[in-house]
Structure 1
Amino acid sequence: MTRVVAGSSIAVLAAPAAWHWTQLSSLALLAACGGGSGDETLDSALNECQPRQLMSLEVGSSYQVRMTQEGFPDATVTIESIVAPAVPFAGKPLTRQIVSWTSVFPGGSRSLIDRQVSTSYVERAERGLVRELGRDHEQSGDFGSGRSVRTVFDPAIVDASFTLARGQSLTRTTRGLVTTTGSTATPSPFEQVDTVRFEDRVSLTINGKTYDTCRFAVAQEGEVSSRSWHHVGTGIPIRIENYGAPPRSLEMRLLVVNGEEI
C-alpha cells in the first residue's frame, strides 16, 4: 500500500503552474473535501470556524474567492464552489459539492490557464458534521488536459476539525482507492496522514479591511507544513501559507458568498 503524507485540509502550494489536484478542494474549504476522520472529537459541538456552506448542504449555496500569490501579483486564483443536487454514488443518492479552481498566469503572447474541478459526494453525518464517500477530479488547460480521477474513501471521511477548541488538535488518517477514468489499471490504494491544530482566533487585515479569523495549522511527520486563516461566519480560508521549498502564500482579494460580497 502506498503511504501518502500530504496536507489534505490546507493547500500545499506548488510551483504556480502545478497546483496539486489532491489539495484543490482542501484549499477552498478546510473540511470540504477531505481531511480524514477525527472520531475522538465527534461528541464536541461545532466551533465558530465551521464552513457553513458545506455544513448546511443547502442546494444552490455558493461562494467565490479570488486570491493572489505572494510574489506573483498579476497571477490570480479563482475558487468557486456550489452545493448541487444529489446523484447516485456508491449505491445511494449523495449531495455534491462542486469546487472549481482556475489559475491564470499572464505572460508572453497569452495567459496560461489551469482549470481543475473537484466534485465531492457528501451526506449528513452525526452532530452536524458531513460525511464524504468519494470525489471526482478533472483537470484541463495548459498544464494537463483530460485527466479524470475518482477517489473512493474507505472508510468514508467524517472530518471533525471544526469541533476543535482553541489549542486542540487531532490526527487524521484517510484511506481509499484511486482510479483514473478510462483506465484498465487496478485501482491504487493510498493512506494519507496529517495533524490539524486550531491555533487561535485572530484578526487579519487585508487591503485595509480587518477580518475575524480562525488560524489552523497542519503538521506532517511532526513539522508544521502550512497554516490557513478562515473567515469567521463562512469558514472560507482567506489566507494560506505553505512552508515548503520554496515557501508560498495565497491571500484573498475578493470573497462573495451567495451573491453577496463579504
Structure 2
Amino acid sequence: MTDTGTTLVIGATGTTGSRTAARLTAAGHRVKAASRHATPVPGAQPVPFDWYDPATHAAALDGADRVYLIPPLGDSDPAAVMLPFLRRARDTGVHRAVLLSSSAIPEGGPAVGVVHQALPGLFEQWAVLRPSWFMQNFTGTHAHAVSIRDDGVILTATGSGRVGFVDAEDIAAVAAHALTDAHAPNTDLVLTGPEALSYDDIATIITEVTGRTVVHRRLSYEQLRDRLTALVPPEFAAILAGMDRAIAEGAEDRTTDTVQRLTGRPAGSFRALVEREMRRDG
C-alpha cells in the first residue's frame, strides 16, 4: 500500500534525483522536479531551486507534502542552508522527508551528519539513505570515470580496502519506496551492492568487460588531499581524502540486505552495471 501526495525532488537532474523522479512519475505519483536550471523531467513539474537562494524555496515547496533531499554539493557545512529550509518545509505542510547521506557519515557526524541528526525532530515521517559509494562514479562524469576514459587509471588512497559499491538505480528504488510507502521507515538505511570490492577489483572487472586495460594507482592520503584541493574547497578535500583513508582501514568493507528487503529484488552487481553501461566504451 502506498500514500498519494506531491513529492518535491531536490537535485532532480542528478544521479539519484533523476532516477527517483523517473520512478515516482512512472508509478503515477505527482512530482515537482527541482534543480538550479529547472531542466524538464518527463512527467514531472519543473521548478527552479537553489539551496543558496531562499527566494526559490517557497515556489518549490508550494503543494508538496514530502521531499527528497540532495545536500548542496561540495559544502562542508550543508546544515547552515538545509536546516532553515527544512523548518520552512515543515511549516508549509511537508510531513515526510528522505535525506540522501553517505554510509561513511553517521548521525551527528560531519557535514550532512548534522542534518541527519536533526531530521527526526523536524518531521513525523523520515528516512536517511546512507548508500555506499556509487557504481556510477566509474561510468558518468565523476573524476574516476574521467580518469578511466582518459588515462585508464583509477586514483585513490584506499589501498586494498573494500567497498560495497551500490548502483544508483537501487538507491532510487529505495528512495521511491521510502517516499511513498504508507509506513514510513523512520530509520537510517545503509545501502550497498551485493559484494564488497577493492578498487583493484573494480579495475579488473572493467578491464575484463571492456577489453581496455584499467589499473588502480594507490596514492597517500596527503597526495589525494592535495589533488582534490585543486577541485574543491580545502575543508571538503580533507573530508573526501579522509573517507578514502577510512576505506583503507576497513570502514566500508560490508554489505547489507536493505535493497532486497525494501524493494523485493536483489541489489545489482558491479559487473552487471559495467556490462550495461560501459561495454560500448571499451
Normalization by structure 2: what TM-score? 0.27
Higher relative contact order (CA 8 A, sep 6+): 1
Normalization by structure 1: what TM-score? 0.28
If each structure's strand is expressed as a fraction of its own residues, which one has the higher value? Answer: 1
If each structure's helix is expressed as a fraction of its own residues, which one has the higher value? Answer: 2
Larger Rg: 2
